[in-house]
């Protein structure tokens, strides 16, 4: 299957009369992934993966997907539909799954995870892998690109799950995260544990550890990997699968330490099913947003930070005319604060800053909004942009006539509140 051909000839077509191929998201040898929508009154984004239909094992693949679809876990990407189709005379299989905003492989090039973040991610992965192993499944393809953010939740991909003992598709071409025994063809829970160890090192150092498949030597990890993660990874990366730690042993090693007689709360996305991982993605892209000195509050009325509050903002003061120019500056009539989950806030260290530029028309509405400074997280940028579009203004006036103007809205997201600094650029 050629990705170029898929983009050129498949985009815009509809699978089974229900799933439009909207945007090509990526592909690999033998598969392509498109953005699609689920049918229904309320449009919901989803992804559809198309693979070549090999008649020798097509039925087995469909049956496997159907079995996976019945699994229910908050950290497992949901499968909505599976089936067969034909595009340009090519027989294909398809699987429709939840749409993921981002994945861990997009985070690590920016910076490594902190120890606290790595612990949260590790606990989340142990939780879902234990669920799968208890039901006779193994992941078999665990790597950063398969650790995803779906609607404020950390999840792992599901369409490649296999029954324990089945043959791996990667036997002939193992990757950096695959266990040594994968070349033998069969996969087991111990292979997932190996991948977990590699991911842990990569998350803390931004790169998987170097090792040679042609040797049987045990990996010796750098002391730059902090404890207890170095010990955990070392025990996960035993050449002999039977010598690797179990998930229960890993879980026991990373249990939160008691604080004041109670367990500390689990931070961020990566821990409980109620907390977000987008934020693996929101919180983990925080490069350069720690511990900076707080800027002094500006004295101009339109630049005073306004914390989140359920109470409506006070009515704006009556603007004072500029006698020399005959202009009256505009003012804010309605502020709309970004809708940010507490789970997303829990991952913030310091402040996340997003700047939105607005064009305000002569009746006080927002006619255009653009991200001037999106910041490190797509999630927070989207929330800021959506909120800014709903602001209302008293329009500026020139010689007694209302005119359009430009505003800059600066959002500062913190763990407990969102500050906003509006300023009018020019009438």
- Asked if the model's pLDDT at residue 273 lies above 70, the reply is no
**pLDDT tens sequence across 312-341:** 454 454 444 444 456 788 899 999 999 888
Asked if 181 and 191 touch (Cβ cutoff 8 Å), the reply is yes
Asked if 97 and 273 touch (Cβ cutoff 8 Å), the reply is no
Superfamily, domain 3-98? Phosphorylase Kinase; domain 1 (3.30.200.20)
* Cβ density class 146-167: b for 16+ within 10 Å, e for less: bbbbbebbbbbbbbbbbebebe
- Asked if the model's pLDDT at residue 287 lies above 70, the reply is no
- Per-domain residue ranges for the chain? 3-98, 102-284, 301-426
pLDDT of residue 157: 94
- Asked if the model's pLDDT at residue 263 lies above 80, the reply is no
pLDDT of residue 387: 93
Same fold, 3-98 and 102-284: no
**pLDDT tens sequence across 162-175:** 988 887 666 557 78
Higher-pLDDT residue of 242, 150 = 242
Higher-pLDDT residue of 366, 283 = 366
pLDDT of residue 293: 35
Beta bridge partners of 43: none
Asked if 262 and 89 touch (Cβ cutoff 8 Å), the reply is no
The domain defined by 102-284 folds into Transferase(Phosphotransferase); domain 1 (1.10.510)
Asked if 358 and 391 touch (Cβ cutoff 8 Å), the reply is yes
pLDDT of residue 262: 38
**pLDDT tens sequence across 186-203:** 789 999 999 999 999 999
Q: Which of 216-225, 320-329, 364-373 has the highest mean pLDDT?
A: 364-373
Superfamily, domain 301-426? TonB (3.30.2420.10)
pLDDT of residue 53: 84
- Asked if the model's pLDDT at residue 286 lies above 60, the reply is no
């Amino acid at each position: 299957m050629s990705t170029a051909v898929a983009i050129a000839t498949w985009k815009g077509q509809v699978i089974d009369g229900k799933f439009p191929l909207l945007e090509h998201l990526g592909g690999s040898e033998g598969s392509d992934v498109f953005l699609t929508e689920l049918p229904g009154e309320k449009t919901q984004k989803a992804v559809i993966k198309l693979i070549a239909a090999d008649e020798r094992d097509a039925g087995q693949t469909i049956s496997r997907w159907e079995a996976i679809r019945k699994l229910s876990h908050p950290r497992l990407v949901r499968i909505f539909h599976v089936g067969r189709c034909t595009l340009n005379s090519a027989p294909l299989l398809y699987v429709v799954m939840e749409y993921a905003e981002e994945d861990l492989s997009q985070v690590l090039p920016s910076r490594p995870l902190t120890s606290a973040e790595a612990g949260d991610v590790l606990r989340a992965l142990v939780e879902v892998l234990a669920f799968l192993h208890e039901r006779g499944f193994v992941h078999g393809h665990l790597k950063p690109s398969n650790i995803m953010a779906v609607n404020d939740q950390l999840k792992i991909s599901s369409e490649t799950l296999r029954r324990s003992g089945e043959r791996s598709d990667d036997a002939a071409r193992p990757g950096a995260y695959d266990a040594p025994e994968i070349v033998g063809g069969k996969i087991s829970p111990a292979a997932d544990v190996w991948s977990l160890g590699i991911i842990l090192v990569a998350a803390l150092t931004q790169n998987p550890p170097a090792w040679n498949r042609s040797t049987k030597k045990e990996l010796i990890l750098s002391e730059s990997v902090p404890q207890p993660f170095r010990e955990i990874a070392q025990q996960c990366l035993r050449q002999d699968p039977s010598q690797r730690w179990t998930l229960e042993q890993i879980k026991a090693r990373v249990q939160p330490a008691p604080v004041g007689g109670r367990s500390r709360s689990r931070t961020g996305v990566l821990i409980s099913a109620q907390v977000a991982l987008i934020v693996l993605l929101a919180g983990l892209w925080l490069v350069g947003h720690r511990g900076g000195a707080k800027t002094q509050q500006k004295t101009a009325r339109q630049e005073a930070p306004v914390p989140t509050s359920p109470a409506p903002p006070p009515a704006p003061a009556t603007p004072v005319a500029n006698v020399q120019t005959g202009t009256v500056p505009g003012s804010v009539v309605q502020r709309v604060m970004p809708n940010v989950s507490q789970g997303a806030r829990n991952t913030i260290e310091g402040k996340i800053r997003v700047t939105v530029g607005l064009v305000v028309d002569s009746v006080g509405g927002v006619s255009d909004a653009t991200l001037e400074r999106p910041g490190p997280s797509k999630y927070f940028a989207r929330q800021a942009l959506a909120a800014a579009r709903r602001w209302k203004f008293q329009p500026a006036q020139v010689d007694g006539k209302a005119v359009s103007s430009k505003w800059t809205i600066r959002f500062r997201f913190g763990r407990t509140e969102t500050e906003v600094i509006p300023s009018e650029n020019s009438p």
